[in-house]
Chains A and B, each alone.
Chain A
Amino acid sequence: MSGQEKSWKELMFAAVSPKPSTDFLTGDWKTFTPVYDKEKCVGCLQCAMLCPEGAIIWNAAAGKVEFNFNYCKGCGICANECRVKVISMSMPDKEE
């Protein structure tokens, strides 16, 4: 959480959420980011099925998976489960 947040006097009563849950992005929680070799992906969907966040989406037109980095928490299950070992977890240089 960065920037100017509301004070306790301005915040909503009883923590009732003023935004739908889809507006609360969780992608910035991650430490490691999945990086994958699109060319070598066989499209088996093992990673998409096992992603606990539903952050891996099947792009039918391309015949490949895509990562939704707004919600990927960097757990690494996809990299561990990939049967052709084309996903690796990397720690990007954090420059904020």
Chain B
Amino acid sequence: MVSKQPVNQELLALNGDEAVALAVKQSNVDVVAAYPITPQTIIVEKFSEYVANGEVTTEYICTESEHSAISASIAASLTGARTFTASASAGLALMHEILFVASGSRAPIVMAVANRALSAPINIHGDHSDSMAQRDSGWIHIYVETAQEAYDSILQAFKIAEDLDVSLPIIVGLDGFAISHTLENVNVLPDEAVAQFVDERVLPMVVTHEGKTVPFKLDPDSPMTMGPNVSPAFYFEFKRQQDEAMKNALQKIQDVNAKYAELSGRSYGNGLIDTYQLEDAEIAVVVIGSTAGTLKVMIDELRSEGIKAGLLRLRTFRPFPVEQLQNALKHLKVLAVMDKSMSFGGFGGPLFNEVRTTLFDLKQHPIVVNYLFGIGGRDSNPHNLRKIFENMQQIAKTGQVDTVVHYLNLRE
């Protein structure tokens, strides 16, 4: 659906982390405050090189921990500065408390998370445990499939987060190692095209205690109270405002995805969900992240055998695109939701729970099963993934579900 001719782009060989660093460099970011952690390290290494070489004017703050990195990011963002940070795993977990301060303070920080497992036992490899544990922190969550999408999504993230109807922080999740460290061909936009696309940050206007209407920023000339103590008589209302901002983001993510497609020639479904061979499918998988790539190859194979298999990659996890998922999945006979994180003692993984709940209100809905996979970087090769479709075919044929929650490629 691209009407205009996209701009000429340069093809570079970049891994996901380098693609993120380059996108940040091009986005005229005022402040980066970060602390390195595997597999996010290359992002901050690469960006600090840009700073050291004088290639950016960004203020780079080396902090002593991730708790400090996110705290500094909030302060910077609240002065009106465009702000970026990045983390993963234990680092993101250490930020937990402050993530809520960022969203509650409506600080539109962009954070790349190179998704990695949590300790213990210690494991540096990719799964979604870290950002799924921050599900309710009030941040927008976008997950990418490729290094190209990581680059594109960081540029889009500033547009989404800083939109006046949104004004929320955003996490862009890229799978640790599978995306963060894997070299890919990445089409890169010219600096000027990015500068024009991301534009300058515009600030919301607020009325201060002095009765002045001023931009929302920490400014000695227009003092204001931020993050005040709020009594039970008001707190709930401010949380409701955050929920509304998330709903606004649902539209904004789609708008930015479309606008970016005009510029670059690339789009990711409607920005919320990205489907493959789903329209006439009878059985399908819902997945987040890089595994979608392997699944597409698998679906081509199944289709060549006459099996009507399809895929829905959930790109935006928060805000959760309820209507879009209902419309896209309602015709299926069987659906397998894949979770790359676990909720111990719960009924399957977090994505399974929410997708299944979403379909509950439909008059007719598919049978939904759950596959926990890729935990701690466990490989999910075509051989394993094929078993999911074989199981769905069996369920479609018999209508019988033996097991709802499966562990893919686990030694029993």
Report A's interface with B, CB cutoff 8 A.
Answer: 1, 5-8, 11-21, 23
Q: How far, in angstroms, from A13 to B216 measured CA to CA in the complex? A: 9
Majority SS at the chain B contact face: loop
Are B225 and A14 in contact, CB atoms less than 8 angstroms apart? Answer: no
Chain B 331-369 interface mask (CB, 8 Å, partner A; 1/0): 000000000000000000000000000000000000000
For A10, give the chain B residue with the smallest CB separation: B237
Give chain B's interface residues, CB within 8 Å of chain A. 104-106, 167, 204, 206-210, 216, 224-228, 230-231, 233-234, 236-238, 240-241, 244
Whether B207 contacts A15 by the Cβ 8 Å rule is: no
Q: Beyond A8-B238, A8-B241, A20-B209, is A15–B227 a contact (Cβ under 8 Å)?
A: yes
- Per the bound structure, the CA–CA distance linking A19 and B206 in Å amounts to 12
By the criterion CB–CB under 8 Å, are A15 and B216 in contact? no
Q: Which residues of chain A have C-beta atoms less than 8 A from B236's C-beta?
A: 8
The answer on a CB contact under 8 Å between A12 and B207 is yes
Q: Would you call A16 and B207 a contact (CB within 8 A)?
A: yes
Given contacts A8-B240, A15-B228, 14 further A-B contacts (CB under 8 A): A1-B234, A8-B244, A11-B238, A12-B207, A13-B204, A13-B241, A14-B104, A15-B238, A16-B216, A16-B224, A17-B209, A18-B209, A20-B210, A21-B225
- Contact call A14/B226, Cβ cutoff below 8 A: yes
Q: Hey, which chain B residues are within 8 Å of A19, CB to CB?
A: 209
Q: Are B206 and A12 in contact (CB under 8 A)?
A: yes
Cα A85 to Cα B134 in complex, Å, equals 54
Contact of A5 among B207, B226, B233 (CB under 8 A): B233
Q: Are A1 and B231 in contact (CB under 8 A)?
A: yes
Q: Does A13 lie within 8 Å of B206, measured CB to CB?
A: yes
Q: Which residues of B contact A7 (CB under 8 A)?
A: 237
- Chain B residues with CB under 8 Å of A1's CB are 231, 233-234
Q: Which residues of chain A come closer than 8 Å to B238, judged between CB atoms?
A: 8, 11, 14-15
Q: Is the CB of B225 within 8 A of A16?
A: yes
Q: Report the separation of the CA atoms of residues A20 and B224 in the bound assembly, to the nearest whole angstrom.
A: 9
Q: B244: which A residues are within 8 A, CB to CB?
A: 8
In the assembled complex, the CB of B215 is this many whole angstroms from the nearest CB of chain A, namely 11
Q: Which residues of B contact A8 (CB under 8 A)?
A: 236-238, 240-241, 244
Sample (5) of A-B pairs whose CB atoms are under 8 Å apart:
A6-B237, A8-B240, A14-B106, A18-B207, A21-B225
Residues of A within 8 A of B228 (CB): 15, 17
A23 to B208, CA, bound (A): 13
User: In angstroms, how far is the closest chain A Cβ from the Cβ of B136?
Assistant: 19
Inter-chain contacts of A17 with B (CB < 8 A): 208-209, 224-225, 228
CA distance A16 to B210 in the complex (A): 12
Residue of A whose beta carbon sits closest to that of B205: A13
- Asked if A13 contacts B231 (CB within 8 A), the reply is no
- Least distance between B221 CB and chain A CB atoms (Å): 16
List B contacts of A14 (CB < 8 A).
104-106, 167, 204, 206, 216, 226, 238
- Closest chain-A Cβ to B163's Cβ sits at a distance in Å of 13
**A13 and B106 contacting across the interface, CB-CB below 8 Å:** yes
In the bound complex, how far is the Cα of B238 from the Cα of A18, in angstroms? 14
Assembled-state Cα–Cα distance A6/B238 (Å): 11
A16:B230 contact, CB within 8 angstroms: no
Q: Would A15 and B209 be within 8 Å (CB), given that A8-B240, A8-B241, A21-B225 are in contact? A: no
Q: Are B208 and A18 in contact (CB under 8 A)?
A: yes
Chain A residues whose C-beta falls within 8 Å of the C-beta of B224 in the assembled complex: 16-17
Q: Which of A11, A16, A18 contacts B237 (CB 8 A)?
A: A11
Complex A-B, nearest 6 residue pairs according to Cβ-Cβ distance, in ascending order: A1-B233, A17-B225, A8-B237, A8-B240, A14-B106, A20-B209
Q: How far is the CA of A15 from the CA of B226 in the complex (A)?
A: 7
Determine the chain B residues whose CB is within 8 A of the CB of A23 once the complex forms.
209
Q: Looking at A12, A16, A18, A19, which has the most chain B CB atoms within 10 Å of its CB? A: A16
Asked if residues A15 and B208 are in contact (CB atoms below 8 Å), the reply is: no
Rounded to whole angstroms, the CA-CA distance of A23 and B209 in the bound complex is 10
Report the Cα distance A19→B230, complex, angstroms: 13
User: Shortest distance in angstroms between B20's beta carbon and chain A's nearest beta carbon?
Assistant: 28
Q: How far is the CB of A6 from chain B (nearest CB, A)?
A: 8
- Given the complex, which residues of A lie within 8 Å of B209, measured CB to CB? 17-21, 23
A17 to B204, CA, bound (A): 15
